[in-house]
Amino acid sequence: MGLTRARQGQPEYHGGAVRYLLVEDNRELAEAVVKRLGLDGHAVDHAATLAEAEDCLAAASYDLILLDVMLPDGDGREFLARGRDRFATPVIVLTARSQVSDRVGALDQGADDYITKPFDFSELEARCRAVLRRRGGSARNEIALGNALFDPTAGTLSHGGTSVELRNREIRLLEVFARHPGQILSKSHLMDRLFSYEADVTENAIEVYVGRLRKKLDGMGVRIETVRGMGYRLGGP
């Protein structure tokens, strides 16, 4: 079974981590994607062909399939159309074309979403969250933070009987903190995660989002501490 199994960096928290099956014939890109997703604590299996993908699906269960459309042993969309009734795993199609009709075509075949190469990993994660949310996110995606439960898929922070809605950037920021508790995260690192490497973002923007998160985390037994000159850290009460 010629599949490369890569588990880069064990996640500190299992919650929020996603188990991916990446079906992509370009080994360079596959290797980079596996490594990049691994940095966020996700587990990724890689299949280079549709046949390998079938083997993987028979051997293990996945949260999400990332499917390239142009594969050496067939069209990914046909694989989708063929296999939709055999596996229930959500599929995000990786395409080189940006046309809406392509997307509609892929969605008609049973894909849950699509993303155009090259993609921003934050956007990929956001789309995965949206897909998993639509599919009814599982409980194991919840992350315990102090007295509260953070569900990145639903974008909620619940404490006692109350639940707070978080916006997209707040979710992504809290997710970064939650995955690296106790670790100091620099402003520039957080900026990259939040603003997709935009040119004209100032560090003030991060301060605004950290300020908002702090307000929402108030009284939940967890807080974001400022480490002077270095960045922020998620700590206890």
Shortest distance (Å) from residue 218 CB to another protein? 21
Q: Quick one: 57 or 166, whose CB is closer to another protein?
A: 166
Shortest distance (Å) from residue 107 CB to another protein? 9
Q: Would you state the structure tokens that stand for residue 38, as one six-digit string?
A: 């691994």
d(CA 196, CA 187) in angstroms, rounded, equals 14
Q: Quick one: 19 or 212, whose CB is closer to another protein?
A: 212
Q: Enumerate binding residues for another protein (CB under 8 A).
A: 26, 28-29, 32-33, 35-36, 39, 70, 96-101, 103-104, 113, 116-123, 126-127, 130, 167-169, 188-189, 192, 196-200
Shortest distance (Å) from residue 146 CB to another protein? 25
Nearest Cα residue to 162 out of 176, 147, 152, 173: 147
Scanning the structure block, which residue is given the tokens 């992509």? 24
Shortest distance (Å) from residue 80 CB to another protein? 17
d(CA 129, CA 90) in angstroms, rounded, equals 11
Is the sign of the CA dihedral 102, 107, 111, 115 positive or negative?
A: positive
Q: Quick one: 53 or 176, whose CB is closer to another protein?
A: 176
Shortest distance (Å) from residue 105 CB to another protein? 10
Question: Is the CB of residue 96 less than 8 Å from the CB of residue 70?
Answer: yes
Amino acid at 165: E
Is the sign of the CA dihedral 191, 192, 194, 196 positive or negative?
A: positive
